[in-house]
Amino acid sequence: MVQRTRDLPGTSRYVETNGVTLHVRTIGPEDGIPVVLLHGFPEFWYGWRRQLPALADAGYRLLVPDQRGYDLSDRPGRVGAYRIDALARDVVGLLDAEGYDAARMVGHDWGAMVAWWLALGHPARVERLGILNAPHPGAFGDTLRGNPRQALRSWYAGVFRLPRLPEAVLRARNYELLARALVGSSRPGTFSEVDLARYRTAWGRPGALTGMLNWYRANGLRSGSFDRRERVTVPTLVLWGARDAALVRENAERSVGYCEDGALVVFEDATHWVQHEKADEVNERLVDFLG
């Protein structure tokens, strides 16, 4: 099934993968090098809107899914359905469905955690790895256990793992707390009222908020999701906004240490939302790196 949205880049389609149906935004020449863009919490494919035209114009074929639980993709009810290995298999299945043996992977936030996991567990499917403000799983586990500042900044993750209460709080007053979190943790003007309206629509789909929170519930510190300490073998570029309110900078530096061929670029005046705030610079770096 194909769906068009006139005022946004790309075309929508639905892809069966790993027992779920994912909504996927596609753009770029069909014979271009495939690049998968993986969004984080609490966004959806729209979080890459500032990258899509530039990467497509550079000749890449972009596959940009709403990951499971989000917006127009399936939202399984079981918490266990959101374990990180299942999320990674969704992307492997997407590549299979599209006829690609491998692709370049780029992720932000939780989407970057899925990208790390793919590079560790399915390295033959990942040709290059682009990471935006998300640490290597083992690096994050090390930092979380050893740096009190990171433990303090991660307080909200424990709250998100509670049953039912987070949904009630985040849904209140038309998702005011989620919208305030985006605006308050970013540079002024990063998210417009039009952007927030689109996010509210995505958050308000039946079961979406629970699906989004289930990523936290299924992948806590005791789940084993942050115990992998293998080194990433594929070329890796880490782009990091230094003013991230949730993640200390130590995560970025430690993550590159887990890469055999890794590079780190820090944007000193950017926050967690680096792909929005430094879109031109991020696009330039990605185009040069993805090759």
Distance in angstroms between the alpha carbons of the first and the last residue of the chain? 31
Report the alpha-carbon distance of residue 152 to residue 247 in Å, rounded: 10
Report the alpha-carbon distance of residue 107 to residue 38 in Å, rounded: 5
Q: Which one is catalytic: 74, 109, 142, 244? A: 109
Q: Which one is catalytic: 23, 39, 108, 272? A: 272
Let me know if 272 is a catalytic residue: yes
Is the separation of the CB atoms in 76 and 82 below 8 Å? Answer: yes
**Buried-state track 92-128, b at ≥16 Cβ within 10 A, e below 16:** bbbbebbebeebbbbbbbbbbbbbbbbbbbbeebbbb
Going by C-alpha positions, the residue among 270, 288, 291 that lies closest to residue 108 is 270
Ordered strands of the 103-108 beta sheet: 2-4, 11-17, 20-27, 60-65, 33-38, 103-108, 126-132, 236-241, 262-267
Let me know if 216 is a catalytic residue: yes
Q: What is the DSSP letter of 163?
A: S
Is the separation of the CB atoms in 18 and 86 below 8 Å? Answer: yes
Going by C-alpha positions, the residue among 46, 76, 111 that lies closest to residue 211 is 76
Q: Which one is catalytic: 175, 216, 244, 276? A: 216
Going by C-alpha positions, the residue among 69, 70, 68, 39 that lies closest to residue 52 is 39
Positions marked catalytic: 109, 216, 272
